Structure 1
Amino acid sequence: MEKRKIEIMDTTLRDGEQTSGVSFSAAEKLTIAQLLLEELNVDRIEIASARVSEGEFQGVKGIMSWAKEKGYTNRVEVLTFVDGGLSIEWMKKSGAKVQNLLTKGSLNHLTHQLKKTPEQHFYEIAKTISLAKENNIETNVYLEDWSNGMRNSPEYVFQYLDFIVTQPVKRVLLPDTLGVLIPEHTFEYLSKITTKYPGIHFDFHAHNDYDLSIANVMEALKAGVHGLHVTVNGMGERAGNAPLESTVAVINDFMPEIEINVKEPSLYKVSKLVEAFTGYRIPANKPIVGDNVFTQTAGIHADGDTKNNLYFNDLLPERFGRKRQYALGKTSGKANIEKNLQELGLQLNPEDIKLVTQRIIALGDKKETVTKEDLPYIISDVLHSKIFEEKIIVESYILSHAKGMRPSTTLCLKMDGELIEEHAQGDGQFDAFMNALSKIYKSKNLELPKLIDYAVRIPPGSSSDALCETVITWTNNAKEFKTRGLDSDQTVAAIIATQKMLNVV
């Protein structure tokens, strides 16, 4: 059976940017656009709203310049408005070639927001589409509030569709603007439309207010839509949009009759980049891209994985460029610890594993987080052995921070018994410390792992002199790992975490 080809349109740079507190710079927009089209291979991207700001204009201009060189101009879209041609003029100046024209998909919006009759609205839409065609701009149309239109004024929706199919538009975009659809209604409404207008390309644009976006996406595909709108990490207004990563996984695993172009192995990489640019943290339990989704915590699960992968499903982490992990905590068993020891290249006898397991469980009861990199320290502490000897020690340091001067650090490091001293400045005290450390490592022709994330946590409600935990994520030879430090001073906690890293690598 020949598969049905579905277009994936990513609107992270337009609808996703409507996430509260998120704003991409022009350079960030260009980087994300390049990754979406070339690394992930989505079919189309929506990158901006016309006439929003000068910064938005420059961002679109930069993307369109790159897209023109690559031959991607028809894959890049801009949200426009029925505004007497102002949006068209804006597009011409920016180089954009495809408009997604925002029109009214419900009688309620048309009557109370525009205060116009359907005939007046249709006349103005037709003029805008005609002007776009004169300027070699392709048109898709959004029916804003379409889902409520189908619920409360379906006669208007079909009146609109009867009009729009007579116009030179390429796609009709049907958004669940307020996230009010349930799967049953998604299938019902879209089936009526795709059946009545079999020659028209329809896109479905889901929102996630009731956490039903993926379920609605599946029903939309069953109803015969030709395209889907998604965002990286499910970003977007209110509860966000249908997440790209979950949409792709669900289609690939449960809808074999449908074909999409998106490359699964790049999903995690792009997800983490968008997280870094926005500062909008991915929840640890978020499907596909969350930190915990490929982590087995219960000891019985780790044991089952050893015995014929009993707790695996089709969502194998390798599909998304990730790796299965085994958490260490109060529900960990011997199997979890053995899995982590294998990765570290360490071996313990059964009696010693039992002692280490008991210590990890005790730490878990105190709500302590235990990482794989903590294991050698725990082993050394529990067994009073030399199994993990610190060969690199931060012997001493001076941190200085004065008004009008750059922060600086003088560091004395002990490496295999040799004391080495270095001084450096930086943008902050810890940055200065890392710069001094880098100088020492360069003098020894050694390379430091790259710091990719830095998080500071204090217990809720704590006073300022309470202990804080600094968790640093490093990458070394394409492998990520975390180290932690605990101190009343966050910089000192970061230095403790860094010393752990130096010995881990």
Structure 2
Amino acid sequence: MDTTLRDGEQTSGVSFSASEKLTMAKLLLEELRVDRIEIASARVSEGEFQSVKNILEWASERGFEERVEVLTFVDGGLSLEWMQKSGAKVQNLLTKGSLNHLTHQLKKKPEEHFKEIAEVIEQAGAMGITTNVYLEDWSNGMRNSPDYVFNFLDFLATQPLKRVLLPDTLGVLTPNETGNFISQIVKRYPEIHFDFHGHNDYDLSVANVMEAVKAGCHGLHLTVNGMGERAGNAPLASVVAVLNDFLPEFRINVQESSLFKVSKLVSAFTGFVIPANKPIVGDNVFTQTAGIHADGDNKKNLYFNDLLPERFGRKRKYALGKTSGKANIQKNLQELGLTLNDEEIKKVTARIIELGDKKERVTKDDLPYIISDVLDSEGYQQKVFVKSYVLTHAKGLKPSTTVCVEFEGESIEENAQGDGQFDAFMNALRKVYRSKKKSLPNLVDYAVRIPPGSNSDALCETVITWQDGDKEFATRGLDSDQTVSAIKATEKMLNII
């Protein structure tokens, strides 16, 4: 059962609109093919009521009513009336699964609680509503008041309900405890269908789910991207992969190929960012960064495991940066349909490592620009060096630049102002050349671009066209800073002339 729309919505700052809930319900049941969805808590708000009504109208047209569930409360039938008006057919009744909760929150005796639960279940049956029962704080109940839990289950075994739902409400269970507790319960009540509802406070939810399944539980409650209160719930994508790969005797209907698509959509709806290193759906999990790994992928897939990205509608990527090797670059070149010789690859690798030291991320889209920059540098021998510079830009003051150029073995420093930082740089450079009784070409065109789809940390390519007498030529510079890329293009021009 996916409970993204109910328990996942308890993620701090997350609230789905009615239309988003309907869209998600359709995707979860038809695209992902989960067995059931829990979509709301009864009596929360008018907006929640409308969203449940919309989903049930759609579900009833497809015969899905029994697959759509709503959290309800022991409240004298008020939740059931709310459900009936909305069209919902399955209630997940919240009850107290630990003596601690019963004593201190409800301040009731077990017999009183059980009597009220029986009345709600009877009323639901008369209204044609199916009942599942949540034992809230069940995990602490098994730890601290097992006699109460077994007494409760003895009572529930006499009731006309469909499932008993066992939540680790506070995310406190260890895998060993999960397996032990569920094994005891399943053996003692072989006729009851039990679901396990795991939380992730200790990052143990997936391991707990594995042990719950091995111990004989019959259903699991999961959320897309592990959304939920505090550290969230057991994440759907990870659990699906674990069940398929490590417990294949348990067949499930969930479509792996749709997991990533639905994960991204939920992230967009909620603003709940998926960590880059989150298994299955994170941006980095199918990205090889180290060159040795890419090399191993070329040699009998030495760094592959069973989590092939194609299973989840994704592709393997090879990152470019300071740990990249030749193999990473070749993989990206193949994808772009480009071919370089060994010497050129060596130069491109060195340039990527240099850029990676300055910039967190070099992308595949940057690669043609880097190649162009490297190959463009092969046409001259460097004799002029822009050794250092200071660029200033302050509100109310003209930009200024101090530049130091090494020219014919001599370092010359000049300062100038200009209409912008690069204009100030060029004015300072002209002073340097005038001191050597030399002139510079005229700048006739200046074009800046970043790779398509890139963002503010993208590499920036500046192409400057110069006119030197009758001759026109262009130079390019590449850097993550626009002005610096223009200075690099200018340094190339100085060496060409």
Same fold (TM over 0.5): yes
State the shift of 1:488 in Å: 9.2
Q: Which residue of 1 aligns with 2:174?
A: 182
Kindly provide the CA deviation profile for residues 103-129 of structure 1, in whole angstroms up to 9, marking residues without a partner as x.
000000000000000000001100111
Q: Which protein has greater RCO, CA pairs closer than 8 Å, 6+ apart?
A: 1
Alignment of 1:353-502 (within 5 A): 353-384=345-376, 469=457
Return the letter of the residue paired with 1:307: K
Tell me which of 204, 217, 221 is aligned to 1:212. 204
Kindly provide the CA deviation profile for residues 301-339 of structure 1, in whole angstroms up to 9, marking residues without a partner as x.
101111111111100000000000000011100000000
Question: Aligned partners of 1:256, 1:326: CA distance in 2, in Å?
Answer: 30
Q: Which residue of 2 aligns with 1:282?
A: 274
Tell me which of 4, 10, 23 is aligned to 2:2. 10
Question: Aligned partners of 2:355, 2:373: CA distance in 1, in Å?
Answer: 13
Question: Aligned partners of 1:488, 1:170: CA distance in 2, in Å?
Answer: 65
Tell me which of 236, 239, 249 is aligned to 1:244. 236
Q: Which residue of 1 aligns with 2:328?
A: 336
The structure-2 alpha-carbon separation of the partners of 1:366 and 1:485, relative to structure 1 and needing over 3 Å to count, comes to: closer
Tell me which of 312, 324, 342 is aligned to 2:316. 324
Contact kept? 1:284, 1:292, Cα under 8 Å: yes
Contact kept? 1:178, 1:207, Cα under 8 Å: yes
Question: Aligned partners of 1:488, 1:101: CA distance in 2, in Å?
Answer: 60
TM-align CA RMSD: 2.1
Return the letter of the residue paired with 1:379: I
Kindly provide the CA deviation profile for residues 363-402 of structure 1, in whole angstroms up to 9, marking residues without a partner as x.
111233100000011111111079xxxxxxxxxxxxxxxx
Q: Which residue of 2 aligns with 1:196?
A: 188
- When the two structures are superposed, what TM-score results if normalisation uses the length of structure 2? 0.77
| Aligned: 1:226 with 2:228 | no
Q: Which residue of 2 aligns with 1:24?
A: 16
- When the two structures are superposed, what TM-score results if normalisation uses the length of structure 1? 0.76
Alignment of 1:93-132 (within 5 A): 93-132=85-124
State the shift of 1:44 in Å: 0.2
Question: Aligned partners of 1:299, 1:486: CA distance in 2, in Å?
Answer: 23
Q: Which runs of 5+ in 2 are unaligned?
A: 379-451, 460-477, 484-497
Contact kept? 1:469, 1:485, Cα under 8 Å: no
Tell me which of 46, 51, 73 is aligned to 1:54. 46
Question: Aligned partners of 1:304, 1:487: CA distance in 2, in Å?
Answer: 34
Contact kept? 1:302, 1:326, Cα under 8 Å: yes
SS at match of 2:164: strand
Q: Which residue of 2 aligns with 1:401?
A: none
SS at match of 1:10: coil
SS at match of 1:172: strand
Return the letter of the residue paired with 1:15: D
Q: Which residue of 2 aligns with 1:294?
A: 286
State the shift of 1:256 in Å: 1.8
Q: In percent, how many aligned pairs have the same letter?
A: 77
Contact kept? 1:235, 1:243, Cα under 8 Å: yes
The structure-2 alpha-carbon separation of the partners of 1:328 and 1:86, relative to structure 1 and needing over 3 Å to count, comes to: same
The structure-2 alpha-carbon separation of the partners of 1:364 and 1:385, relative to structure 1 and needing over 3 Å to count, comes to: closer
Kindly provide the CA deviation profile for residues 176-199 of structure 1, in whole angstroms up to 9, marking residues without a partner as x.
000000001001111110000001
Question: Aligned partners of 1:63, 1:170: CA distance in 2, in Å?
Answer: 22
Question: Aligned partners of 1:79, 1:373: CA distance in 2, in Å?
Answer: 48
State the shift of 1:236 in Å: 0.3
Question: Aligned partners of 1:274, 1:371: CA distance in 2, in Å?
Answer: 26
Return the letter of the residue paired with 2:156: I
Tell me which of 244, 253, 278 is aligned to 2:245. 253
Kindly provide the CA deviation profile for residues 162-188 of structure 1, in whole angstroms up to 9, marking residues without a partner as x.
001101100000000000000010011
State the shift of 1:469 in Å: 3.5
Q: Which residue of 2 aligns with 1:424?
A: none
SS at match of 2:84: helix
Q: Which residue of 1 aligns with 2:137?
A: 145
> Which structure: larger Rg?
2
Contact kept? 2:359, 2:480, Cα under 8 Å: no
Q: Which residue of 2 aligns with 1:71?
A: 63
Question: Aligned partners of 1:172, 1:367: CA distance in 2, in Å?
Answer: 53
The structure-2 alpha-carbon separation of the partners of 1:469 and 1:364, relative to structure 1 and needing over 3 Å to count, comes to: closer
Q: Count the aligned residue pairs.
A: 394
Question: Aligned partners of 1:488, 1:28: CA distance in 2, in Å?
Answer: 41
SS at match of 2:457: strand
Contact kept? 2:14, 2:270, Cα under 8 Å: yes
Contact kept? 1:82, 1:101, Cα under 8 Å: yes
Question: Aligned partners of 1:353, 1:64: CA distance in 2, in Å?
Answer: 59
Q: Which residue of 1 aligns with 2:465?
A: none
Tell me which of 36, 45, 63 is aligned to 2:37. 45
Contact kept? 2:362, 2:458, Cα under 8 Å: no
Question: Aligned partners of 2:39, 2:377: CA distance in 1, in Å?
Answer: 58
Question: Aligned partners of 1:72, 1:305: CA distance in 2, in Å?
Answer: 45
| Aligned: 1:264 with 2:252 | no
Question: Aligned partners of 1:52, 1:361: CA distance in 2, in Å?
Answer: 55
